[in-house]
Structure 1
């Protein structure tokens, strides 16, 4: 089949790779001048989510309302933003949270296998390493993690529950004062450079003639009928092209994997998804003192802020701003951007003091899609020739690679790599029967 993939981030490039591996001809359309320039560029690094990392459940929802949480929530009078949070709040109860993560777990497993196969086959070096340490400051927040800890034990996910002193012994950068409640060590979970991995995968595709990349192009619309699918392309704003004439490119199928930009495109095609973009912030700072630098990735569990040392840099990521969609997709107000970066700086001061020169940090912000039930949207949608791979959120960029494998299975007529209940939980039509 001839397949057009819309989006040159991790989801789009990973989908192109899996489709090529399955024998399809692929064209990737990306509005930027190269790949990995949108939300992919700002990922915190965690490859796959554990029950402590997912962007739903008791820890996130309850603590997110408090000033110490990692979410700046500014809904204004927008009812859609409030409805989104109300849906997410339903997953704060233990049973609902556990059931939803059980649905996600098979996709996590497929993603782990997919990433390992790619890494081994091509000997990729993308600043990957093992070791993730979650830390929790307050006893009341530690209580909120118990649902996740029970789920870790039930699913036999390798981990160690640690006291504060044990956390500091294992990770010397974490101070024992002021006192904190404890932590969880995941020795086998991994961190990696998402934009670097994406670019390496693009290079593999180009070297093997596995995909055509149409860069600097914006998709203005989709055309779908019984016999063929097509995209309407115009030069991206700011490109060298003088005219914005529409170019129509046809294929047998289309995969929309354009992150936050997918919502408007799908809506114009007749598919409205209740996903919501949130603006995420990160700081990449020079290393300050070698003796203070962490050798594990340290995660403030309540704030969802990840602190990772990579070479001579420290990346601090995942402070989030949730506003009405029209506001999220614009540059944030200066006061809100300062509040988000201050949250990142404070987490660095609290957990890895002296490790990073925050005053010299490079700041980044960009929109990422969150779903109201915490699961991405993967599979066929609206039309037999239309597929989607969106909504993975900030917790683990490797999920997009597992979803790409599912897309390739479906498009190739193979048995999907995930069980039927997980596949049903990922489909776009799961939202049709839900009430706002």
Structure 2
């Protein structure tokens, strides 16, 4: 089959990889001049989410500690944004959280297998590291994380609950003063350089004959029972007549939309819904200041959701979500809010790995990621038989895109994906 993949981030590229591996002819469309330039560029490092760092659940956006949650919510009077947060808040109930994560967990494991297969078959090095230490400042925060720790036990995820002294022993970069409550070590969980992997896969795909149409904007989808088509225009074309002359239509047997925050507008003709909404996240990439103070494992502030990852001689600090109306999220970041967000990341670095990074020399990045109100990505078939989607993986665990890509490739190929039927149904975008 001929398949068009819209999006040159990690979701689009790994979808193209799985489709190509399944024997399909693939064309990737990307609005930037190269791949990994949108949300993929600023990924924080963690390959796969655990119950401790998904962006939903009992420890996320606790109303009594809104200022300490690591989220900046500025919804004003926007009804869609407020409705979204209300839906997300329902998953703070431990039972609701456990039920929802149980649906996500098969996709996590499928993603682990899919990513591992890519690594072993291609012998790729994308700056992988092993080990994640989740730290908690206050005892009540560790208590609130207990439902997540229970899920680690339930799903057999290797972990150790550590005292403060054991945390410092496991990761000496964490200071023992001021005092903190303890932590949870996930010794087998990994991090990696997402943009680097995306570019490596793109090169492999080009060598294998996959087509890439760069600097092309998707203006519209044209779908019927027998064929799917994509209407393209060059990015940055000037007046209306030039835009009209530059429009190109290419057709295929199927289209996969993996366009990140741009996915809802392409799939449904709307920019957001009460259940799918953009979230602006931030990263700082700073040189290592002192080798002896740099962390050996990834350190995660589990309440503020700040991830501090060593990437060779750099430290990547990610998190600081800013939640706004769709109109504001679609525009450049407000300078004041951006400053607050980057200050939050800098403070987290100072608190948990002091002296490890030259934050004053850090490169800052912000971008928009698509988040769902039930915490699950939007993956698989849509009501139209020729349209598929791979999006809304959220801020934690970019490797989810890999398992999601395998699901999409199986569905396009007419195969049954290797996940339970209830998980597959829970991932469909039309569940909303």
Partner of 1:434: none
Is the Cα–Cα contact under 8 Å of residues 192 and 311 in structure 2 kept in the other structure? no
1:228 aligns with 2:227: yes
1:184 aligns with 2:152: no
Q: Matches of 2:46 and 2:79 in 1, distance apart?
A: 32
Q: Matches of 1:289 and 1:342 in 2, distance apart?
A: 21
Q: Matches of 2:256 and 2:292 in 1, distance apart?
A: 47
Q: How does 1:29-68 map to 2 (within 5 A)?
A: 29-62=29-62, 66-68=66-68
Q: Matches of 1:162 and 1:138 in 2, distance apart?
A: 14
Partner of 2:294: 293
Q: Matches of 1:393 and 1:86 in 2, distance apart?
A: 17
Q: Matches of 1:101 and 1:221 in 2, distance apart?
A: 34
Q: Deviations over 1:201-236 (max 9, x none)?
A: 111111121x10000000000000011100000001
Give ranges in structure 2 of 5+ residues lacking alignment.
none
Shift of residue 289, structure 1, vs aligned partner: 1.0
Question: Over aligned residues, Cα RMSD in angstroms?
Answer: 1.6
Is the Cα–Cα contact under 8 Å of residues 4 and 27 in structure 1 kept in the other structure? yes
Q: Matches of 2:18 and 2:273 in 1, distance apart?
A: 26
Runs of 4+, deviation exceeding 4 Å? 269-273
TM-score, normalization: structure 2? Answer: 0.97
Shift of residue 243, structure 1, vs aligned partner: 3.1
Shift of residue 266, structure 1, vs aligned partner: 2.1
**Residue 409 and residue 322 in structure 1: after superposition, are their counterparts in 2 closer, same or farther (change >3 A)?**
same
Partner of 1:212: 211
Is the Cα–Cα contact under 8 Å of residues 73 and 323 in structure 1 kept in the other structure? yes
Shift of residue 382, structure 1, vs aligned partner: 2.7
Q: Deviations over 1:164-198 (max 9, x none)?
A: 11000110000001010110101100000000001
Is the Cα–Cα contact under 8 Å of residues 74 and 323 in structure 2 kept in the other structure? yes
Q: Deviations over 1:381-413 (max 9, x none)?
A: 131100011100011000001000000111111
Q: How does 1:368-379 map to 2 (within 5 A)?
A: 368-379=369-380
**Residue 270 and residue 351 in structure 1: after superposition, are their counterparts in 2 closer, same or farther (change >3 A)?**
closer
Q: Deviations over 1:128-178 (max 9, x none)?
A: 011100001011211110000111111111101101110001100000010
Give ranges in structure 1 of 5+ residues lacking alignment.
432-436
Shift of residue 61, structure 1, vs aligned partner: 2.9
Q: Matches of 2:274 and 2:217 in 1, distance apart?
A: 21
Q: Matches of 1:360 and 1:258 in 2, distance apart?
A: 31
Is the Cα–Cα contact under 8 Å of residues 84 and 274 in structure 2 kept in the other structure? no
Q: Matches of 1:79 and 1:334 in 2, distance apart?
A: 24
Q: Deviations over 1:2-60 (max 9, x none)?
A: 00000000000000000011111100000000000000000001000010011100101
TM-score, normalization: structure 1? Answer: 0.96
Partner of 1:350: 351
Shift of residue 238, structure 1, vs aligned partner: 6.6
Q: Deviations over 1:112-142 (max 9, x none)?
A: 0000000001100000011100001011211
Is the Cα–Cα contact under 8 Å of residues 320 and 340 in structure 1 kept in the other structure? yes
- Mean Cα displacement is larger for which, 189-198 or 305-314? 305-314
Q: Matches of 1:38 and 1:116 in 2, distance apart?
A: 24
Is the Cα–Cα contact under 8 Å of residues 266 and 272 in structure 1 kept in the other structure? no
